[in-house]
Structure 1
Amino acid sequence: MKRTLVIGDIHGGYKALLQVIERAKVTTDDILIFLGDYVDGWSESAETIDFLIDLRENNECVFIRGNHDVWCQNYLRVKEAPDVWLSNGGKSTVESYTSSFDKSKHLDFFMKMKDYHIDENNNLFIHAGFSSMHGPNKEHYSTNFSWDRTLWETAVAMDKHLKKNSELYPKRLLLFNEIYIGHTPTLNYKVQSPMNKANVWNIDTGAAFTGKLSILDIHSKEFWQSDSLPKLYPNEKGRNFYNIKSK
C-alpha cells in the first residue's frame, strides 16, 4: 500500500536518517516528504545531501527548503559563511564539505527545493509557516516559509474547544485539511514525539539537539523514530552548544 511519509528536521544526522528509513520499512512505493533543515548540527550534512540525491532516483520525494538550507545554499553558491550561520550549526556543515563531494550537484539540489507543497487532499507541507490570511501563495514575505513561528504558536495557544465556525478560529488554519511543519523542536514543550495542535502537526522532534529524528505516516499517524542523536554521535555536540530556542 502506498504511504505518504513526512520526515522532520535532520540537521546532518545521516545515521538517524538511515535508521528511520529502515524502521519505517520504506519502499519505493512510498511518497517521502522532507520538511527541511537537512544540514547544520551533526557532522554528516554533506553525506545526508548525497544520500537524498540518490534516494530521489527510486522514490517519489518532495524536498522542502528550511532556514538552514538557505544558509547552506548561499555557502555553496557564493561561499558566504556568515557568523550567525557558523555559530548555529554551519561550522559542522562547512567541515563536512572538506571531503570529496560534488558541490555543484549539491547546489543544484538545494536550488530545486520547494518553499512548500500542497497535496491532492489539501494538506500543506512547509518548514515553518506563513502569515497571509489567504495562504502561502499570497505570502508577501517569502522568508516566512522557512522562519515563521506564529502559525505553530497560534495552534499551540488555541482553546481546544473552539469550533471551526467561530469567528475567533484562526483563518490560516481553515485553509488546509492538515498542515505539517518542522522548525520548532517539540523538545521546547518537553515532548519527544511529533505534536498535534488543532490541524497542525509538528514533526521536528529535536534531532539537532538531544532528541530523535521522526518519520510519520500522514494517514495512519503511526510514526517511527531514530535513536537519540547524541547516542548516534557520542563524540559530538550537535547544536547543543546553543539554547534550543535559538534555532
Structure 2
Amino acid sequence: MSPRTIVIGDLHGCYDEALELLDKVGATSSDRVIFAGDLVDRGPRRRECVELAMRHEAVLGNHEEAHLQQRRRPDERLLPDHLETRRALEPEHYDWMARLPHYLRLPEHDAVVVHAGMLPDLPVEAQNPYHLLHAQCIQPPATKSYWPSKAPEGFTFWTHHWKGPERVIFGHTVFDRPLVTEHAVGIDTGCVYGRSLTAVVLPSWELVSVPARKTYRGGKEVARFPVHGDVCVYS
C-alpha cells in the first residue's frame, strides 16, 4: 500500500482515543501523520498527546499559542486548566511547540492543513496568523472574526468564502460531524466533549472516527448553529 497522509483533529488530551484512531486507520511507519493543533488543555493526558505529536507532525493551535504567550507568567495568574497543562509539560515540550508551523502544505493532494481557517483570495503564506489560529465567522473584505454564537447578521462561516485553490483541512471549530465541502474539510468533532475523534486519510479523503471514551469536559451541547446545511457547530 502506498504511503498515506493522515490528518487528525483536535486532541485536547484525548490520548487513548488518538491511539485507537491510529489503530483503526491502520497507520504504519510509512504513513505521514499530522495533528491539526490543540493537543493540550481540557482532557486527561496532555503530556502524552504532545509527545505523540512530537513523533509525527503538527500545526500550531490556539491553545499551544496561548501557552507559549504565557510561558513566563506566574502560576497564580494562569487559569486552572492552563496551570494543569503547565504542570504536565517540560521545557522541551514548550521548545517543540515554539517551532510548530502555522500551516503545512500538501501539494501532492492539493491541500493545506491549518488549525482554524483562512480568509478568501489570499495564499496561505499571506494569511494573518490570527486567522490561521482563530478564524470562524467572517464578512469579507472585513477581517474581524466571530464565534458562530456571537456573529453579527451577515457574517457566515469562513468556508462559505474560501474557494481554493487548495482544499483546507482544519480543526478548531467543534462540529456535530465532519464538515465536508468542495474546498474545506473540518475534522474537530469534539472528542473532549464526549463526541468523537476524527481523521481524514489522504489520498482517498476517507473520514474515520472513534467515539470518545467519556465526556472529559462539558459545555458544548448548549446550542447548535448551522454552518453548512445541517452541519452544526457547538458553541
Partner of 1:224: 208
Given that residues 6 and 33 in structure 1 are in contact (C-alpha distance below 8 angstroms), is that contact kept between their aligned partners in structure 2? yes
Distance, in Å, in 1 between the alignment partners of 2:76 and 2:200 is 34
Given that residues 42 and 239 in structure 1 are in contact (C-alpha distance below 8 angstroms), is that contact kept between their aligned partners in structure 2? no
2:69 to 53, 60, 74: 74
* Residue 74 of structure 1: how far off its partner (Å): 2.7
When residues 92 and 13 of structure 1 are mapped into structure 2, their CA distance, relative to the original with a 3 A threshold, is farther
Structure with higher helix content: 1
Partner of 1:166: none
By relative contact order (CA 8 Å, sep 6+), the higher-ranking structure is 1
When residues 246 and 70 of structure 1 are mapped into structure 2, their CA distance, relative to the original with a 3 A threshold, is farther
1:94 to 78, 83, 89: 83
* Residue 82 of structure 1: how far off its partner (Å): 9.3
Distance, in Å, in 2 between the alignment partners of 1:28 and 1:14 is 19
Partner of 2:164: 174
Give the length in aligned residue pairs. 207
* Residue 241 of structure 1: how far off its partner (Å): 7.7
Q: What's the TM-score, normalizing by structure 1?
A: 0.73
Instruction: Say which SS state the counterpart of residue 186 (structure 1) adopts.
Output: coil
In structure 2, stretches of 5+ residues that fail to align are: 139-155, 224-232
When residues 66 and 33 of structure 1 are mapped into structure 2, their CA distance, relative to the original with a 3 A threshold, is same
In structure 1, stretches of 5+ residues that fail to align are: 159-169, 232-236
When residues 92 and 19 of structure 1 are mapped into structure 2, their CA distance, relative to the original with a 3 A threshold, is farther
Q: What's the TM-score, normalizing by structure 2?
A: 0.77
Given that residues 210 and 240 in structure 1 are in contact (C-alpha distance below 8 angstroms), is that contact kept between their aligned partners in structure 2? no
Partner of 1:41: 42
What do the CA deviations read for 1:112-159 (whole angstroms, capped 9, x no partner)?
Answer: 1110111223311111112252222222x321110001478143xx5x
Percent sequence identity is 20
Structure with higher strand content: 2
- CA-based RMSD of the aligned residues comes to 2.7
Partner of 2:148: none
2:104 to 102, 112, 117: 117
1:28 and 2:29 equivalent? yes
* Residue 246 of structure 1: how far off its partner (Å): 8.2
When residues 229 and 70 of structure 1 are mapped into structure 2, their CA distance, relative to the original with a 3 A threshold, is farther
Aligned pairs (5 A) from 1:1-247? 1-53=2-54, 55-56=55-56, 61=57, 63-75=58-70, 77-79=71-73, 86=79, 91-98=80-87, 101=89, 103-121=90-108, 122-131=110-119, 133-139=121-127, 141-150=128-137, 153-155=157-159, 158=160, 170=161, 172-176=162-166, 178-187=167-176, 191=177, 194-230=178-214, 237-240=216-219
